[in-house]
Chains A and B, each alone.
Chain A
Amino acid sequence: MSQFVESLKDQCKKISQSLQISKFDMFGVIKEENSASAKENKPFALSASNKSSVTLRVWNEHDHMGSASTSNLTPEGLARAFEIALNSTQFSDTAKKYDFSSLCLEKIDYNLSNSNCDFESIQNLAHAVIECEKNILASHPSFKSVPYNKIAQTYFEQFYFNSLNSFRYQKTSYAMCYFYPLAHEDNKIPRQLGHVSLADNFKNLNYLECAHIAVEKTKKYLNYEKVTSGNYSVLFSPEAFLDLVGAFSNFFNAQNILDNKSLCTKETLNTQLASNLIHICDSPLHKDNVTKSYFDEEGTPTSKLTIVENGVLKNLIHTSYTAKIFNTKPTGHSSIKGKLTAQSHFLHVFASKESSQKFPIHSEPYIYIEDVKALHAGINALQGSFSLPFDGFFVHGEKSVSIESATVAGDFLTLLKNIIFVSQDEKVTPSGVCPEVLVSNLSITGV
């Protein structure tokens, strides 16, 4: 544990005593990041940061909770945060009894093998990103620039402690890169696709391969055709399907259910929500999750949770509060900044035993969606509907041609029920693990 966190604990103890606060907890992050981009063979937007921030919760003498966040971690800044959090207890919802997680003192088996990586210099990141940009621009005459490119390395420590002497601490690092080359051929519209890669540190980050994948993806879109509007079967790439599940994650979020902001209700538990071909888990400690968290923001240990099994909604993600209401245990998904709520870590979607080994479409055309875009605008998570632009292909037998521009629209719950094939081949992505998923009868609008 860093000396800084140790001194933070001591300061919090002193401040809480001076303000006569007997119950408090704190979740914090200390983060250091280096990043570099390239522009025309030169370093561009080189950046470094070190940043610390904490969220503090305190309980007053009536056991009402208040909270405050701060990045001013000087003794004065912390004292002010305690005072503000204490003041905000008077506005707390008195009908709700918030408490520490019942699992905040549970033992955690940390695997800290990824805790002592070397932190790469910005110059080395810049050399690497310039090399990638060069490779991309040399790979095809249509590539004129790589407007969005970056290699970054992040080291972070996260910690939780409370007045019951619960203490959690972990340090992690990861490296990330992305490349979005812009291809433009005469008398055609510009095309841009990209790829994102993640690894536990820079040495293991295959940035050259990431750039290569971005090139190959974009090249496939140079020739394009318009697609006729209509209803099609749609094969979602792993990335696109995970994006959709993430955007509609209110269906398995217990807090959203309590707030009437979910596509499901308490009664939906243990009912058939989706096609029986699909399983969905949250797997925070999955071996391929490079940003794994061993505990959540209430100090609850994280672990694998089955959400959908054979299409049946089996479990919800919980905070300490929702777990109490649902008479179950917290699941390690708490987020305490702002309103206490739950959030997923690293989704793992896979085929059930009922899913066929063979792709069921042979003669009729279908749409392959590689990336869905503009989720912030095209998703209505409460209504359950979506209308999203996408990058993808019209596929008919041997023919596969990229689509000029189109949107896909539908209802999420209907989409889950209309899944007709889940591939056995899973792909690791930055946000989870998922195979390709085929859905029947979605509305496609071509430009």
Chain B
Amino acid sequence: MFDESYRNNLSFLLGKGRAAGADFVEFFLENRIYLGALVENGKMTSVSPSLSLGAGVRLFKGTQDCYVSTNDLSFSGLKNILEKALDIFNLKITENRIIPDINLEPLRDYGLLKNKNKWLEEKPPVSEICETLLACNRKQQAIKHSHSVTTNGFRDCQEVLVATSDGIFARDVRLNQTVSAQVMCVDGQHRASCSKRIGDSGNKHFYGKLNITSLTEELAETAGNILYADYVNSGTYPVVLANQFGGVIFHEACGHLLETTAVQRNSTPFAYKKNEKIAHENLTAWDEGFWENGFGSIDMDDEGMPAQKTLLIENGVLRNFLSDRTGNLLTGHPRTGSGRRQNYSFAPASRMRNTYIAPGNFSKDDMISSIDHGIYCKSLGGGSVSSTGDFNFAVDEGWLIEKGKITKPVKGATLIGQAPDVMQKISMSGNDLEISAGFCGSVSGSIYVTVGQPHIKVDSITVGGRS
């Protein structure tokens, strides 16, 4: 475990780095115990434990930064990566001068403060995980017309230590767990596959208390609905997006574009819009560092900053960007505790955590009944956004809305559009906010996030489908 014993070496190396001429030096140490398991068609087909140990050092010189990583956590290993990083800026460690150590804060240990060290100390409950996945898989096999069923899950326990030349010395322990259930149904020429995921953080009893009945019932319902569904006709429609994972629309169409990572790369249309109206006045959105058991929750970010609750958009007006240390340096936006990374081999970048659209006053029925001909997107898949602001995401389970009523299921829809455009068209927010676990890939790798929203109505959006 990382503890006070690392103080002297890190303080010494940080001092060496500063004395060599770096403006800022940061060490990030990581220890990870991961256990993945896979059940297919009633059989346990893989149990995959993985142990990972590594460190990275980041230097700033002026507005430039560099990052060097290694698996070698010995003193000489850490010194090597520091020398390599300094060498990138043509700097050298001075051996003959007396270098003052960096005065690090007393170890800010969230593992200790929040009683999380036990997650590292205890053995992963392999039997419990396997039994839960097997039980879930058996229920999936009972889904009508199921042809192939898969259940996978993981327990990921990560310990990190951050030490910086401006005195941060902080440690965190994180526990993320998830279960994903997938079914492919086949009946003659009809084929449909769909999946559902549940995930949370910091919950030791996640597997023991998992509601697999509810998970598999939802899966069965979606599979049954889309197996015989027609493909959606392409066109431009008003749509209602369901709560929970529907929040992926905000994540893709807006959230990524509010990260300073996008601002500093000049790849967001919102770069100079702070305090300007960028969305419909009915839209307010937040990104929270800590949401009890939220899949994207962190007590501190990967730069050692305590997690913040950040108001992104207030009644349509852009209030804040998500900023990390580099973003702060290059764009001036204040840090928000959003510096995150997949693991030690990535430098941190400003990333989302638990992101959601705030609840409004409308009910789902208000939204459906306001539409003459449109689509209800009940279950959504993944999506993406490009530097041009073009976003897209897949609809796993859609329904036609005809004359204010939900009528028949449709499949094969993709929603596409321009982010600045669609943000103006989210005209109704429901009163039923729910969140959901997801994965987000970007410049600093794949990280755990939460997306969320109440039901929302988008006045018009292009739906890609079959002509």
List the interface of chain A (C-beta within 8 A of B).
Answer: 39, 42-53, 66-73, 77, 80-81, 84-85, 87-88, 91-93, 95-96, 122-123, 144-145, 147-148, 180, 182, 189-192, 229-231, 259-261, 337-340, 373-374, 376-378, 380, 382-385, 387-389, 405-407, 409-410, 443-445, 447
Contact = CB atoms under 8 A, between A and B. Distances in A.
B467 interface: yes
Contact of A71 (B52, B381, B382, B418): B52
B40 interface: yes
B466 interface: yes
B392 interface: yes
Contact of A93 (B43, B69, B148, B394): B43
User: Considering the complex of A and B, which 3 residue pairs feature the smallest CB-CB distances, nearest first?
Assistant: A407-B464, A445-B234, A260-B148
B414 A387 contact: yes
Contacts of B369: none
B334 to A, nearest CB: 21
B191 interface: yes
Given A46-B88, A49-B68, A373-B392, 10 more contacts: A43-B66, A46-B67, A47-B67, A66-B47, A71-B51, A71-B52, A122-B88, A180-B387, A376-B441, A407-B234
B432 interface: no
B464 A45 contact: no
Contacts of A145: 265-267
Contact of A73 (B71, B386, B387): B71
Contacts of A93: 43-45
Given A230-B467, A382-B184, A445-B464, A46 B69 contact: no
Contacts of B414: 377-378, 387-389, 407, 409
A376 B446 CA distance: 13
A47 B347 contact: yes
Contacts, number: 235
A70 B52 CA distance: 5
A261 B347 contact: no
Given A122-B88, A259-B148, A444 B467 contact: yes
B341 to A, nearest CB: 12
B64 interface: yes
Interface residues of B, number: 77
Nearest to B64: A43
B467 A231 contact: yes
Contacts of B48: 67-69, 88, 337-339
Contact of A445 (B53, B191, B383, B463): B463
B148 A91 contact: no
A85 B387 contact: no
* Residue among A51, A385, A387 with the highest chain B CB neighbour number at 10 A: A387
A377 B393 contact: yes
A137 to B, nearest CB: 11
Given A49-B68, A52-B71, A385 B52 contact: no
Contacts of A443: 234, 465-467
Interface string B185-217: 000000111000000000000000000000000
27 contacts: A39-B264, A43-B64, A46-B88, A47-B66, A53-B52, A67-B47, A68-B48, A70-B51, A71-B53, A71-B71, A72-B52, A91-B130, A123-B90, A145-B265, A148-B387, A182-B388, A189-B388, A192-B388, A229-B234, A339-B48, A377-B383, A387-B465, A388-B414, A389-B392, A409-B231, A443-B234, A443-B467
Interface centre among A87, A231, A447 (most CB of B within 10 A): A447
Contact of B69 (A51, A180, A192, A385): A51
A43 B387 CA distance: 20
Given A72-B71, A259-B148, A387-B394, A49 B36 contact: no
Contacts of A383: 184, 191-193
A373 B390 CA distance: 11
B148 A447 contact: no
Interface in B1-38: 36-38
B180 interface: no
Most B CB contacts (10 A, CB to CB) among A95, A230, A377 go to A377
B239 interface: no
A66 B49 CA distance: 9
B52 A378 contact: no
Given A39-B264, A339-B46, A192 B71 contact: no
Given A68-B51, A189-B388, A87 B467 contact: no
Nearest to B46: A339
A37 B264 CA distance: 13
Given A259-B40, A405-B416, A445-B465, A80 B383 contact: no
B70 A51 contact: yes
Contact of A374 (B67, B193, B392): B392
A39 B81 CA distance: 24
Contacts of A337: 48
B400 interface: no
A384 B71 contact: no
B50 interface: yes
A84 B49 contact: yes
Contacts of B70: 49-51
Nearest to A228: B467
B191 A384 contact: yes
Nearest to A72: B53
Given A73-B71, A387-B412, A409 B464 contact: yes
A384 B189 CA distance: 12
B54 interface: yes
A96 B43 CA distance: 10
Given A192-B388, A377-B382, A447-B416, A182 B51 contact: no
B392 A377 contact: yes
Given A182-B387, A374-B392, A80 B51 contact: yes
B205 to A, nearest CB: 21
Contacts of B44: 91-93
Contacts of A388: 414
